[in-house]
């Protein structure tokens, strides 16, 4: 394997707008830039509707980017046709949120996991395909007997294992995990997270991990990016964001996490976030967070804050921080 | 003092084509006045079916096959539909997980809340009802309450819809509010707002709450007492501090260990509970948790453990608490030898 220092994924000024009728646009992703080094994990968090899933789907070219560039292992994939993309698709795979909706109910587990192999014409013989699927299923903790069953016969955690097997059978380098654990029970979440971490170490995978569960994100990510209304508002090392959050939105989001400790929980009050996410069709002027920010000033209403490095490796977009 | 809700040996089953699914297999607990009790468990543990049984809202193949549910001393099992309808909403109300589907999309929200008053307080005039609904909207902190009465559900966000549901549930000042995962479908920021709202409303009007959730963090924020369910049975029941600080059941310990701690060392792996929940058509003969339990002995697989008292108001269904349980490698030896309940 060649040694290289190009980031596995590099996203520059990525923008995705959806038409919303009567010449209006949903600003789902607005000028988002980040990069992920090989073998690392970037966690992307925010409330629902903040554009984190749209961002992931645009990166993997399920959605066409409105503007901006996407580099996969140094190669610009943002303008390729779907046909030209095919060889790159082997390198990037996705794990979806809902293990109930993302597996075809009419296919056996074997067929679901073998489908990527067939799409890319990888196996010359049935025998070879069989062998690869068997091995992959074993690695996610399912056995041969499971291969001939249908998705509805499995629990949520087992289904997510099938989803992981499907994503990893092509030996991708970048895996986009779109809330892979949100639909699972707590005891099962830990199983899946540990499995994802195990595969990362073993196969040197790069993850873009989308979640709204901030406590789990810290546990899986090297870096964390916080999104609000289509924009990145803060990004830094995972531990740093919990220890020294700078953006008022991040602070609010962190204090909203229920604390699994009754002694601490009773003390906290008054913090947290007020109000709801404004509409991404007509995002607020200036800093998009100003409508909910306890520190908003005239300047925040008028002028969008710049993306600046407040401390080494710690980026934030807020007028209160003078870098 | 008599508890608001008293459930004794409740058994609920669903008769399906592939057999009888024993969703709740003998559950006893009570909720006292002004208390908020959390029921925790993973999907399929029977926590939602327990709440639906209390509300007499089981549909289709679901049926209470045994036990008793007493609300304010009155037996609800076997009560007539009409009589139950006069209790539901007035003495016990419920809010559901998904505020998107629990509201009628064709009616203004004010009217939907007003319906509750119309059903239970016939002598109120239309204007009185409207005033009461506006007051309720203010209580659940819906901004510009009077203006929002005429809005339709689609004009509200998820959090606001859940506030409407809470307003509806509180309209007739019920003695007991059953909340079935009311914040699971919401963002953490909105969940936090709703939990704060429920806490302050409970302080204001002092009703009892039965809060069903899978999230121990949420329980820690809101409840005084916790019931942990698994496989249709109560595994452990304790005061909130007791449960978090001295858990007396391997399942509870497993649940607590699988929550990531903000201060936990990242290099450490989370400790998941291995395996998956039991099949309730053929529930295990012994302890339902035994196939996943790291401490399971032979007796656990063969015989259902009785309920042991582990402390004041603290009970646990685990063989490890038996006086004859082995002392070596016993995580519960500190609470061992409690009497059988």
H or E element: which one contains A214? helix A214-220
The answer to whether residues B204 and B221 belong to one domain is yes
pTM for the full predicted model: 0.86
Chain B contacts of A274, Cβ < 8 Å?
Answer: 193
Contact criterion met (CB < 8 Å) for A253 and B218? no
Q: Kindly report, residue by residue over B212-256, the tens digit of the pLDDT.
A: 998 898 999 899 999 999 999 999 999 999 999 999 999 999 998
The answer to whether residues B236 and B133 belong to one domain is no
Contact criterion met (CB < 8 Å) for B276 and A188? yes
Q: Kindly report, residue by residue over A16-31, the tens digit of the pLDDT.
A: 999 988 888 999 999 9
Chain B contacts of A214, Cβ < 8 Å?
Answer: 188
CA separation for the pair B247, B21 (Å, rounded): 29
Q: Are A315 and A307 in contact (CB under 8 A)?
A: yes
Q: How far is B276 from chain A (nearest CA, A)?
A: 7
Q: What is the pLDDT of residue A173?
A: 96
The answer to whether residues B158 and B170 belong to one domain is yes
How would you classify the pairing of strands A25-36 and A9-19? antiparallel
B341 lies in a domain?
Answer: no
How would you classify the pairing of strands B5-16 and B19-31? antiparallel
Residue B265: how many CB atoms within 10 A of its CB?
7
Q: Chain B residue closest to A277 (CA)?
A: B157
The answer to whether residues B169 and B248 belong to one domain is no
Contact criterion met (CB < 8 Å) for A155 and B216? no
Q: What is the pLDDT of residue B7?
A: 97
CA separation for the pair B64, B48 (Å, rounded): 14
Average pLDDT in chain A: 90
H or E element: which one contains A36? strand A25-36
Contact criterion met (CB < 8 Å) for A262 and B266? no
B195 lies in a domain?
Answer: yes
Residue A159 has phi, psi (to 5 degrees) of: -60, -40
How would you classify the pairing of strands B36-40 and B208-213? parallel
B123 lies in a domain?
Answer: yes
Contact criterion met (CB < 8 Å) for B258 and A186? yes
The answer to whether residues B138 and B206 belong to one domain is yes
CA distances from A93 to A116, A190, B172, B341 (A): 10, 22, 52, 54
- For residue B111, the domain's CATH number is 3.40.50.300
CA separation for the pair A32, A12 (Å, rounded): 7
Q: Kindly report, residue by residue over A77-125, the tens digit of the pLDDT.
A: 999 999 999 999 999 999 998 888 899 999 999 999 999 999 999 999 9
Q: What is the pLDDT of residue A323?
A: 47
The one-character DSSP state at A67 is E
Residue A186 near chain B (CB below 8 Å): yes
Q: Which two tokens stand for residue B26?
A: 């003998």
CA separation for the pair B327, A61 (Å, rounded): 59
What is the residue range of B120's domain? 5-229
Q: How far is A45 from chain B (nearest CA, A)?
A: 11
State yes or no: pLDDT of A72 exceeds 60.
Answer: yes
Residue A312: how many CB atoms within 10 A of its CB?
8
Q: How far is A83 from chain B (nearest CA, A)?
A: 38
Look at chain B and count its residues: 341
Contact criterion met (CB < 8 Å) for A47 and B190? yes
Find tokens 């293990």 and name the residue. Answer: A99
**CA dihedral in degrees (B159, A24, A298, A232; nearest 10)?**
70
Q: What is the pLDDT of residue B65?
A: 94
SS (H, E, C) chain B: CCCCEEEEEEEEEEEECCEEEEEEEEEEEEECCCCEEEEECCCCCCHHHHHHHHHCCCCCCEEEEEEEEEECCEECCCCCHHHHHHHECCCEEEECCCCCCCCCCCCCHHHHHHHHHHHHCCCCCHHHHHHHHHHHHHHCCCCCHHHHCCCCHHHCCHHHHHHHHHHHHHCCCCCEEEEECCCCCCCHHHHHHHHHHHHHHHHHHCCEEEEEECCHHHHHHHCCEEEEEECCEEEEEEEHHHHHHCCCCHHHHHHHHCCCCCCCCCCCCCCCCCCCCCCCCCCCCCCCCHHHCCCCCHHHHHCCCCCEEEECCEEECCHHHCCCCCCCCCCCHHHCCCCEC
**ipTM of the shown complex:** 0.81
CATH 3.40.50.300 describes domain A9-91+172-316: yes
Q: Which two tokens stand for residue A157?
A: 């955690």
- Residues 198..227 of A with a Cβ closer than 8 Å to B: which? 212-216, 218-219
CA separation for the pair A167, A159 (Å, rounded): 12
B317 lies in a domain?
Answer: yes
Our count of domains for chain B comes to: 2
CA separation for the pair B221, A263 (Å, rounded): 9
Q: Which two tokens stand for residue B295?
A: 């401490």
Find tokens 């058994």 and name the residue. Answer: B11
The answer to whether residues B187 and B319 belong to one domain is no
Chain B contacts of A252, Cβ < 8 Å?
Answer: 189
Beta bridge partners of A206: A174
Find tokens 């309209």 and name the residue. Answer: B171
Nearest to B254 among A187, A238, A256 (CB): A187
Q: Where in chain A is the domain with CATH 3.40.50.300?
A: 9-91+172-316
Residue A158 near chain B (CB below 8 Å): yes
Look at chain A and count its residues: 323
Q: Chain B residue closest to A275 (CA)?
A: B190
Q: Which residues of B touch chain A, with CB atoms under 8 Å apart?
A: 42-43, 157, 159-160, 187-193, 195-196, 214-218, 220-221, 240-241, 244, 254-256, 258-262, 264, 266, 269-274, 276-277
Chain B contacts of A250, Cβ < 8 Å?
Answer: none
> Among B247, B248, B257, which residue's Cα sits nearest to residue B305?
B248
The answer to whether residues B240 and B189 belong to one domain is no
The answer to whether residues B81 and B206 belong to one domain is yes
Angle at B178 between CA B176 and CA B182, to 5 degrees: 140
Q: Which two tokens stand for residue B315?
A: 């009970």
Mean pLDDT on A266-279: 75
B330 lies in a domain?
Answer: yes
The answer to whether residues B36 and B172 belong to one domain is yes
Q: What is the pLDDT of residue B289?
A: 94
Percent of chain A at pLDDT > 70 equals: 96
Q: Kindly report, residue by residue over A189-216, the tens digit of the pLDDT.
A: 888 999 999 999 999 999 999 988 788 8
Q: What is the pLDDT of residue A111?
A: 95
Residue A160 near chain B (CB below 8 Å): no
B9 lies in a domain?
Answer: yes
Residue A2 near chain B (CB below 8 Å): no
Q: What is the pLDDT of residue A1?
A: 47
How would you classify the pairing of strands A174-178 and A67-72? unpaired
Q: How confident is the model at residue A302 (pLDDT cuts 50, 70, 90)?
A: very high
CA separation for the pair A273, A139 (Å, rounded): 42
The answer to whether residues B152 and B301 belong to one domain is no
Q: Which residues of chain B have pLDDT under 70?
A: 262-268, 328, 337-341
Q: Are A85 and A265 in contact (CB under 8 A)?
A: no
B250 lies in a domain?
Answer: yes
CA separation for the pair B140, B160 (Å, rounded): 9
Residue A252 near chain B (CB below 8 Å): yes
Chain B contacts of A293, Cβ < 8 Å?
Answer: none
The answer to whether residues B90 and B122 belong to one domain is yes
Q: What is the pLDDT of residue A154?
A: 87
Residue B205: how many CB atoms within 10 A of its CB?
13
Mean pLDDT on A140-155: 89
Chain A contacts of B196, Cβ < 8 Å?
Answer: 269, 272
Residue B18: how many CB atoms within 10 A of its CB?
6
CA separation for the pair A201, A181 (Å, rounded): 19
B340 lies in a domain?
Answer: no
CA distances from A150 to A107, A113, A169, B21, B136 (A): 6, 12, 19, 21, 48
Contact criterion met (CB < 8 Å) for B217 and A269? no
Find tokens 């089981």 and name the residue. Answer: B58
């Amino acid at each position: 394997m060649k040694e290289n220092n190009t980031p596995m994924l590099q996203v520059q000024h990525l923008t995705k707008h959806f038409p919303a009728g009567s010449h209006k646009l949903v600003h789902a992703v607005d000028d988002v830039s980040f990069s992920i080094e090989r073998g690392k994990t970037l966690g992307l968090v925010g409330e629902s509707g903040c554009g984190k899933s749209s961002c992931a789907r645009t990166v993997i070219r399920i959605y066409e980017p409105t503007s901006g560039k996407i580099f996969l292992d140094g190669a610009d994939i943002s303008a390729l046709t779907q046909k030209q993309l095919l060889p790159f698709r082997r390198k990037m795979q996705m794990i979806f949120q809902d293990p109930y909706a993302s597996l075809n109910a009419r296919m056996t587990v074997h067929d679901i996991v073998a489908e990527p192999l067939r799409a890319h014409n990888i196996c010359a013989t049935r025998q070879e395909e069989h062998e690869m699927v068997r091995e992959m299923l074993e690695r996610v903790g399912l056995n041969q007997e499971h291969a001939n069953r249908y998705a509805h016969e499995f629990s949520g955690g087992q289904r997510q294992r099938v989803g992981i097997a499907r994503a990893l059978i092509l030996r991708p380098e970048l895996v986009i995990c779109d809330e892979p654990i949100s639909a699972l029970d707590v005891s099962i979440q830990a199983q899946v997270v540990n499995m994802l971490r195990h595969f990362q170490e073993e196969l040197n995978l790069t993850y873009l991990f989308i979640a709204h569960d901030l406590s789990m994100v810290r546990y899986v990510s090297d870096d964390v990016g916080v999104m609000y209304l289509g924009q990145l508002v803060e990004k830094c090392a995972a531990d740093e964001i919990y220890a020294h959050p700078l953006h008022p939105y991040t602070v609010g989001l962190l204090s909203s996490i229920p604390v699994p400790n009754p002694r601490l929980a009773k003390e906290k009050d008054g913090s947290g976030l007020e109000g709801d996410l404004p509409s991404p069709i007509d995002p607020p002027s200036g800093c998009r967070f100003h409508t909910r920010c306890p520190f908003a000033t005239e300047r925040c209403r008028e002028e969008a804050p710049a993306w600046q490095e407040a401390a080494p490796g710690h980026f934030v977009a807020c007028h209160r921080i003078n870098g | 003092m008599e508890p608001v809700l008293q459930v004794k040996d409740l058994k609920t089953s669903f008769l399906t084509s592939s057999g009888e699914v024993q969703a709740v297999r003998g559950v006893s607990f009570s909720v006292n006045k002004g208390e908020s009790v959390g029921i925790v468990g993973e999907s399929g543990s029977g926590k939602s079916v327990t709440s639906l049984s209390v509300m007499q809202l089981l549909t289709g193949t679901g049926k209470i096959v045994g036990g008793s549910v007493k609300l304010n001393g009155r037996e609800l099992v076997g009560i007539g539909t009409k009589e139950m309808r006069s209790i539901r909403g007035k003495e016990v109300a419920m809010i559901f997980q998904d505020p998107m589907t629990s509201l009628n999309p064709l009616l203004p929200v004010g009217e939907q809340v007003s319906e509750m008053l119309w059903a239970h307080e016939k002598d109120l005039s239309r204007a009185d009802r409207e005033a009461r609904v506006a007051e309720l909207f203010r209580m659940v902190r819906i901004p510009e309450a009077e203006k929002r009465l005429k809005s339709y559900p689609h004009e509200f966000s998820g959090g606001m819809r859940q506030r409407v549901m809470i307003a509806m549930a509180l309209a007739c000042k019920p003695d007991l509010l059953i909340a079935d995962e009311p914040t699971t479908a919401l963002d953490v920021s909105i969940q936090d707002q709703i939990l704060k709202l429920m806490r302050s409303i409970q302080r204001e009007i002092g009703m009892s709450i039965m809060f069903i959730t899978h999230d121990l963090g949420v329980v820690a924020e809101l409840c005084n007492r916790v019931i942990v369910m698994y496989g249709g049975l109560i595994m452990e029941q304790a005061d909130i501090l007791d449960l978090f600080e001295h858990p007396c059941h391997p399942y509870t310990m497993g649940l607590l260990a699988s929550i990531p701690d903000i201060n936990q060392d990242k290099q450490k792996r989370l400790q998941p509970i291995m395996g998956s929940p039991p099949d309730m058509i053929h529930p295990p003969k012994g302890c339902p948790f035994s196939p996943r339990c790291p401490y399971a002995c032979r007796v656990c697989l063969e015989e259902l453990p009785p309920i042991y008292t582990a402390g004041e108001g603290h009970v646990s269904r685990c063989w490890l608490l038996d006086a004859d349980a082995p002392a070596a490698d016993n995580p519960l030896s500190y609470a061992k030898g409690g009497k059988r309940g």
